[in-house]
Amino acid sequence: MNEKLTAKLKSIPVSPGVYLMKNINGDIIYVGKAKKLKKRVSQYFSGKNVSIKTEHLISKICDIETIVSQNELDAFLLENTLIKRYKPKYNISLKDDKSYPYIKIASSKTGFPYIIKTRNFKKGEGEYFGPYSSVFAVTQVIKTVNKIFKIRTCSENKFNSYAIRKKYCLYYQIGRCSAPCCGYVDDKAYGKSIDGIRLLLNGKNRQLLKELKRSMNIHVKRLNFEAAIKLRDKINAIITISEKQTAVFKNEKDMDVMGFYSLDGKADVVVVIVRDGRIIGTKNFFFKNVYLNDGEMLAAFLDQYYLKNLEISANIPDEILIPIKIEDEDKDCLVSYVKQFSSKNVKVIYVESGKRHRYDIVTAMAIENAKKNFMEKFYADEEANSAVDNNIDIHGKKYIDRDKDEDANGIVRYALIALKSILHLNKVPDIIECFDISNISGTYAVASKAVFNNGVKDTSLYRRYRIKSKNTPDDYAMMYEVLCRRFNNAVNGKDPLPDIIMVDGGKGQLNVLVGAAKEFRERNKGHDIVKTENMPVLIAIAKTKVLKMKTGEPLKKISETDKIYMSDRKNEVNFGRNKNAIFLLMRLRDEAHRVALTYFSKLKTKSLITSELLNIDGVGKKTYINLTVGLGSIENIKNSSIEELSAVKGISKKAARNIYDYFNL
């Protein structure tokens, strides 16, 4: 830290305000707020509990400017203003909601507001609901609203045109509009329908149903059965909508549940919107180039998200559930801002993962959604940025065998990223190897190595092994021999170590793999290759048959489930609901098994044919050698004529006739 920066830190006031961090060129790279400026800024340079991301930010800071405010609330507003103005590199930028469609209740000079879908937000020109995930979703909601409340959707010009001619449009004929242009409904009744739409779009279905039922009962008492029937139909339609919404709480609380997932400088935030105890929708936000730690990232998101919501008069919940702890002053500042501009005492509740909490189910669901969305966006982003590189392996060659359909859908990349998380790896694995043994009672014993490079087969890295040390049925000894040979090949750089080595089998085979790796490390002490960060993760895959017996019936196999074991875990790895990762490993195991079995069959077939030649009259070892040298292969010998066979040096006409007759008669 330079002397100028050290002096600045000493002179920073204790009062609330905003701090602006600048790089060597004087550009503002980060803007933050604080209740106590001196304390907050000093934390960055204290060296205590500083994340790698924060260290990266600190390394770029050459100057700090502070702006003192009267209170936290002023600091909150000033921070957001400065972020919008300077767009600092290390602050997150909430995606402009104009890219998402809204439902707008547009104000009208006619006194009859109308409903449209829009992407443009203009303050003071109506009420906005959303944003929604797609235009299709908006269209469906508007259709549902029109079916229930019969609100106009036409523009001002069309409305005035129909009003002058006193002629209604097609929407009135199909029961989707109450034709206010023709005076078929008064402004008071129309206004009640608009109020109902507000409640429905805000998820206040229960409140809306209560009001409609009360109005229906009034009409029944007044013997106005026609109006009562219309209200009954509205009630039934709204009940149908409510039944389709997922109920998560028995109470009628409004909540926003935050899901969060981050990896490799990117992050995804999902907002699960719960109104009246029911999930009415979700919003998803994906961020690239995130330089903040998770707590700072989520706090910054909450500030910008609710600032935007209050600007468009969106419904603010009673509680905000967050999966990551944020600073108390960030939380208090947000609560104060929301209270001042919405008169709502919102609570920000931290739901800690792994501990029983009444909100843990919905929070876990939000996190799972954030993780799923992250994987989809993360892969799509990488594909867009490296379309060419994704077709090249580490040796600069095109993949020989690539499952294009699966890779195009992002499933493979999703599985690899999931493996990083599930197996607690330092990075997303590139090279994964799997070993398998094939033999019959120790004879024709072979092994195979199949390799996935970035989740797809790379046959250029495949290997086949003849077992040299064993002719008895001892799979453990055979596996140990092959693994030792594999590790030894890595020393001279001929066959670099992968990110993961997997063996086909259970804990026994895993122990063999661990033993081979341990011997390799002890034998090569002092070599960089045996450092912990350079050694592969060791796992085993085991197929377990699940049997079920019904009364009076024999045992039946109902399913097969594969289990993954790791060297540092007692029990099998829990993949949860994420099956893509284990399916990837299963496909690699099947490929290793196929290669081993193919090699085994080839050796066995070759051995059988060789024995047959030696059993033919007139064919001995010398004749066999002459035949293979002269004709090149057993297949050529089988397909040769008598003349071609007798033309081979050392083969008599009688022997040629015997060989020909053996394979062709």
Domain residue ranges of the chain, discontinuous segments joined by +:
3-86, 98-247, 255-378, 412-602, 616-664
Architecture of the domain spanning 616-664: Orthogonal Bundle (1.10)
pLDDT beyond 80 at 664: no
Q: What CA–CA distance (Å, rounded) separates 106 from 362?
A: 34
Model confidence at 131, pLDDT cuts 50, 70, 90, reads low
pLDDT beyond 60 at 383: no
Enumerate residues 6+ apart whose C-beta is below 8 A from 176.
146, 147, 150
Computed over every residue of the chain, the mean pLDDT equals 79
Model confidence at 538, pLDDT cuts 50, 70, 90, reads very high
Q: What pLDDT is stored for residue 386 in this prediction? A: 42
pLDDT beyond 70 at 121: no
Average pLDDT over residues 137-164: 80
- For the domain 255-378, what is the CATH code? 3.30.420
Q: What pLDDT is stored for residue 558 in this prediction? A: 41
Model confidence at 251, pLDDT cuts 50, 70, 90, reads low
pLDDT beyond 80 at 466: yes
pLDDT beyond 90 at 514: yes
Q: What pLDDT is stored for residue 615 in this prediction? A: 67
Model confidence at 132, pLDDT cuts 50, 70, 90, reads low
Q: What is the dihedral of CA 54, 59, 63, 68, to 10 degrees?
A: 10
* pLDDT tens for each residue of 404-447: 443 434 678 778 888 888 888 888 899 999 999 887 655 678 89
Q: What CA–CA distance (Å, rounded) separates 606 from 634?
A: 8
Model confidence at 608, pLDDT cuts 50, 70, 90, reads low
CATH topology match: 3-86 vs 616-664: no
* pLDDT tens for each residue of 261-282: 887 778 899 998 887 777 777 7
CA nearest neighbour of 437 among 390, 389, 474, 404:
474
* pLDDT tens for each residue of 9-34: 888 888 889 999 998 888 999 999 98
CA nearest neighbour of 301 among 94, 53, 97, 54:
94
- For the domain 412-602, what is the CATH code? 3.30.420.340
Q: What CATH superfamily classification does 3-86 receive?
A: GIY-YIG endonuclease (3.40.1440.10)
* pLDDT tens for each residue of 296-338: 899 999 998 888 888 776 678 889 999 999 988 889 888 988 8
Is pTM beyond 0.75? Reply is: no
Q: What pLDDT is stored for residue 393 in this prediction? A: 36
Query: Of the spans 3-17, 228-242, 401-415, which averages the highest pLDDT?
Result: 3-17
pLDDT beyond 90 at 501: yes
CA 539-542-543 angle, to 5 degrees, is: 155
Q: What pLDDT is stored for residue 560 in this prediction? A: 54
Strand order in the sheet with 28-34: 28-34, 17-22, 63-68
Which ranges of 404-544 would DSSP assign to H, the alpha helix? 404-408, 411-422, 475-491, 507-523
Model confidence at 398, pLDDT cuts 50, 70, 90, reads very low
Q: What CA–CA distance (Å, rounded) separates 301 from 292?
A: 11
